[in-house]
Amino acid sequence: MSAIYDLIRYAQLKHRAFTEIVEDLDDTKFHFSAKDNLCADGFQARAGSAVLDGYRPPFDATPIRKMKDSGGQLVGKTTMDEFGFGTFSTNSAHGVPLNPFDLERSCGGSSGGAGAAACLIPGHIALGVSTGGSISGPASFCGVVGLTPTYGRVSRYGLIDYGNSLDKVGLLSRSSSLVAKHFRTISGPDPKDPTSCAQPVLADRGKMPRSLAVPKEALQNLDPAVRSSFQDALSRFKELGTEVHEVSMPSLRFALPAYYILATSEASTNLARYCGMRFGRREEELNQHFNDFFTGVRSESFGDEAKRRILLGTFCRMVGFRSRYYLKSLAVRQLLIEEYQKVFRDHDAVVTPTMPFIAPRFEEIGRMKTLEMYGADVLTVPPNLTGMPHISVPCAYVKGLPVGMQLVADHWKELDLLEAASAWEKAFIYRFPEVSP
Amino acid sequence: MKIGLEMHFQLPTRSKLFCSCPTSSAEPNHNVCPVCLGYPGSRPSLNRKALEAGLGIARFLDCKIEEKVWFNRKTYFYPDLPKNFQITQYESPLGTNGHFDLNGRRIGIWRVHLEEDPGRIRRVGRSGEEIAFVDYNRSGIPLVEIVTAPDLTSPEEAREFIDQLVTELRSLCGLEAQDEQSFRVDANISLGEERVEVKNVQGLRNLERALKFEASRQSKLLAAGKKVVRETRRFDEERKVTSSAREKETEEDYGYIGEPDLGEFRIGEMARNLDLKETPLVRARRLVSSFGIGEATAKQLVLTSVTLTDLFEELCRHVPPEKAVSWTTGPISSNWAVLQDPGKWPEIVQIVKDDSDGRINDNEAKRRILSLAGVQQEAAVEGGDDMTKLISDFVDSHPEVLADYRKNPKAANMVIGHVMKESKGRYSSKEVVEEVRKEMDKRV
């Protein structure tokens, strides 16, 4: 068991996967980690932000409580982009996680630490959170399985909000069987999160998808190596007896702007509460007007990306812009749901690469413009915007680095995705880096 | 003069709007939890009782109620607001386009919606060295906001409107009596073109004062040929004046978005199935039309007590309404503390019925009502003896009448006439006749 603890420490020290870890492992329990935006008794919950430094929540998030109730030990909190704002986990106040395959490269984001932990520690299950692709992205770059359930499948009680209508708690691990097992553990209605109470009961098992749809719009602007390895993966799927058809989903191109408008609109209201009054960091002089005090705390503690998204979201909510941006984006979300459901009349899942490229080097990320970074989410945003379940599995290795493939199913059909992932694992062997702590 | 009101009432629920914290009073910051303190990761779930109460009010005010509603986040920064946004209803209120009848005049109701109350700030210490304490017990208390059209025409009318509305709502959904300080209202008032908003006035008395001050300020400005500036003003309770709040002239931009944690609520069915109680003033209007009694009397009845009015309606099934009025507003209401016991009602009904049928006279009926109420009335008791004494005194001093009576029973009429005259109508003729016959027969 101490070998596992050594791996956890290694993941923390060498790859900065964890912000905090336990001092001792309980050998009688299974071990799981949680992204730092999930509240847990006994740990700080800082969601990658300095504004929450020192904040110890007085309660467990529902998914964490359920994991503990089923015999799990929370071994640590994983690093992330501040409040989930990022694609590479570089917007973190508590260390940027480093890719398990190459320390010079990103783990993806925003659940980057979760991706690294899932990859580095065999048998480990990591709770991640996705708003616009924060589980699929790290799963792809770190070469693990990442399941993002349907919106409303897993209670968000105790999840520090980014965009409440988009946030989903999910799982990352080396194998789909572990993901499938604990997906059952954390699912189910919770009166403390009314949006989790409309879900249908989980079936005993899913149906293997027979027909996969590949939207041709999703194959534009891909790294050529990713594109060709994705085509190879499709051939392999056909060998498994699955049909693959090209379809057209013209509304996909509206997903990215609609997502960033909705997500930042909600985020800018969620972040209003961080003002140094009731929790978190407070270094400002108290003897001043509350407005100056709040501004001081917020200016000092929020990172650049958080400030950018607050400004963006506040702008989109303003009188005069609200109907042009916020309300229109709500309509786009509905349009896109309908477009997916039209495809699901003839097909069981939509499949694309997960990310348009393999894990980039930090120096490449440093040269990216903000819009290029947002553009990296182009394939993960659509299912997130529509609240549809999706899973990312490794489907190839390019220059020794994993390439991810993402399958999307209709609402509540997570089990079908897990069937597909399980079948895929029998045909394609995943690789993990050799580590010697 | 045009006055419109935005009123906030606390709904009578046991727990808060979005969490299970109690709404009862407590030490500062004792009725709090992660939800009403806005801790990261906490989220709201709607109190069904509050929704029902709010819908009841919307229906009572005859509002249009949509099939589905949702909540909104109203974002602004203030230390008493834990999340720095308030969960309220913006584009989707519980009800719109209703009305309230104020003394026969229709006052438009623009909207009825639910929202959460912020915390409370207490400032202590000398000015300049003040310390502000925040008590979050009030955070998350359910409020209903009712917005009227600018249909009120005077400060007095505005006050009477709220007074009547509160009376109705108290009976409708058990709204607590709003004490002077807990009651908050914003008022719009315009004498000319531009309207002025007087914000956050505490209590009815202050509202009337603030409106009177504003009415006279605006009329002086207009009389002097000056313009009224469209602005927000505050009422200074000490000096009893309003003063400019010096806020931005344009409306503050709250950047409303939907509250994604609560989703949509299908309320049509719930609203239709609510069983609305008949409120006092509505009942008064019905009493006027069904029983033909005066409006003032009807109001007096319903405002005295619901059960007294119940008894009145019961009496009306047996006796003419004017009889029922005089008894319920008279001896019955003055002894209501005891007579409200429904166990006593059949007897009360019988007494009033006997009185109405002339089987007993008013005095006897009153005596019986009072004795039922446990009141020993000396006069009433003496009065009872009085008649026998009157009869025997007269018969004893006029033996010829008794002699006549033996031959002709009509001779008793002399005695009856005497007693009626002497007792000045304290007894009904039927009673006197019976008593006189009884006394004479004894002697014959």
Task: Report yes or no: A57 and A39 within 8 Å, Cβ to Cβ.
Answer: yes
pLDDT in tens, A359-411: 999 999 999 999 999 999 999 999 999 999 999 999 999 999 999 999 999 99
Q: Cα separation of A44 and A55, whole Å?
A: 5
**2.60.40, 1.10.10, 1.10.3470, 2.60.120: which CATH number matches B379-443?**
1.10.10
Nearest to B262 among A191, A194, A317 (CB): A194
Q: A61–B38: do the CB atoms touch at under 8 Å? A: no
pLDDT, residue B434, reads 83
Q: Cα separation of B23 and B27, whole Å?
A: 12
Task: Report yes or no: A142 and A113 within 8 Å, Cβ to Cβ.
Answer: no
Say if B85 is an interface residue toward chain A (CB within 8 Å).
Answer: yes
What ranges in B132-227 are assigned the alpha helix state H?
Answer: 155-173, 204-223
Q: Which of A148-157, A324-333, B116-125, B169-178 has the lowest mean pLDDT?
A: B169-178
Average pLDDT, chain B: 89
* Residues, chain A: 437
DSSP H helix total and E strand total for chain B? 16, 15
Nearest to A146 by CA among A426, A385, A402, A327: A402
Nearest to B257 among A38, A156, A265 (CB): A265
Q: B41–A165: do the CB atoms touch at under 8 Å? A: no
Taking only the tens of pLDDT, chain B with its 444 residues reads 999 999 999 999 999 999 999 999 899 999 999 999 999 999 999 999 999 999 999 999 999 999 999 999 999 999 999 999 999 999 999 999 999 999 889 999 999 999 999 999 998 988 878 888 999 999 999 999 999 999 999 999 999 999 899 889 988 988 876 555 567 899 999 998 889 999 989 888 899 999 999 999 999 999 999 989 888 899 988 888 998 886 654 557 899 999 999 999 999 999 999 999 999 999 999 999 999 999 999 998 998 888 999 999 999 999 999 999 999 988 898 888 889 999 999 999 999 999 999 899 888 998 899 899 887 665 444 445 578 888 888 888 888 888 888 888 888 888 888 887 777 667 777 778 888 888 888 887
Kind of pairing, strands B105-116 and B142-148?
antiparallel
Give the residue-averaged pLDDT of A241-269.
Answer: 97
**Searching chain B, which residue's CA lies closest to the CA of residue A318?**
B255
For residue B443, give the 3-state DSSP assignment. helix
Enter the tokens of residue A325. 């941006």
Enter the tokens of residue A128. 């991640």
Nearest to B421 by CA among B398, B396, B387, B374: B387
pLDDT, residue A102, reads 97
Between the alpha carbon of residue A62 and those of residues A40, A157, A196, B18, B262, the distances in Å are 9, 6, 11, 18, 17
Say if B39 is an interface residue toward chain A (CB within 8 Å).
Answer: yes
Nearest to B257 among A38, A59, A266 (CB): A266
Query: b or e along B357-371 (b: 16 or more beta carbons within 10 Å of the residue's beta carbon)?
Result: eebbbbbbbbbbbbe
Give the residue-averaged pLDDT of A246-260.
Answer: 97
Average pLDDT, chain A: 96
Domain ranges, ordered by start, for chain B: 2-178+247-273, 280-376, 379-443
pLDDT in tens, A271-321: 999 999 988 877 778 888 899 999 999 999 999 999 999 999 999 999 889
Nearest to B75 among A59, A272, A291 (CB): A272
Which residues in chain A are closer than 8 Å to B260, comparing Cβ atoms? 163-165, 195, 266
DSSP H helix total and E strand total for chain A? 14, 13
Say if A165 is an interface residue toward chain B (CB within 8 Å).
Answer: yes
pLDDT in tens, B67-105: 999 999 999 999 999 999 999 999 999 999 999 999 889
The number of angstroms, rounded, from the C-alpha of A335 to the middle of its chain's C-alpha atoms is: 23
Judge if ipTM > 0.85: yes
Say if B262 is an interface residue toward chain A (CB within 8 Å).
Answer: yes
Say if A387 is an interface residue toward chain B (CB within 8 Å).
Answer: no
pLDDT, residue B355, reads 92
Amino acid at B335: N
Q: Which residues of A are annotated as catalytic? A: 35, 110, 134
- Cis ω for the linkage preceding B356 (within 30 of 0): no
Q: What domains can you pick out in chain A, each with its CATH number?
A: 2-251+332-427 (3.90.1300.10)
**Searching chain B, which residue's CA lies closest to the CA of residue A165?**
B260
pLDDT, residue B181, reads 58
Predicted TM-score of the model (pTM):
0.88
pLDDT at A196 over 80: yes
pLDDT, residue B183, reads 75
Which residues in chain B are closer than 8 Å to A164, comparing Cβ atoms? 43, 260-261
**Interface with chain B: mutation pick from A317, A324, A328, highest number of B CBs within 10 Å:** A317
pLDDT at A75 over 70: yes
Q: A159–B41: do the CB atoms touch at under 8 Å? A: yes
Q: B84–A156: do the CB atoms touch at under 8 Å? A: no
pLDDT in tens, A83-110: 999 999 999 999 999 999 999 999 999 9
pLDDT at A187 over 50: yes
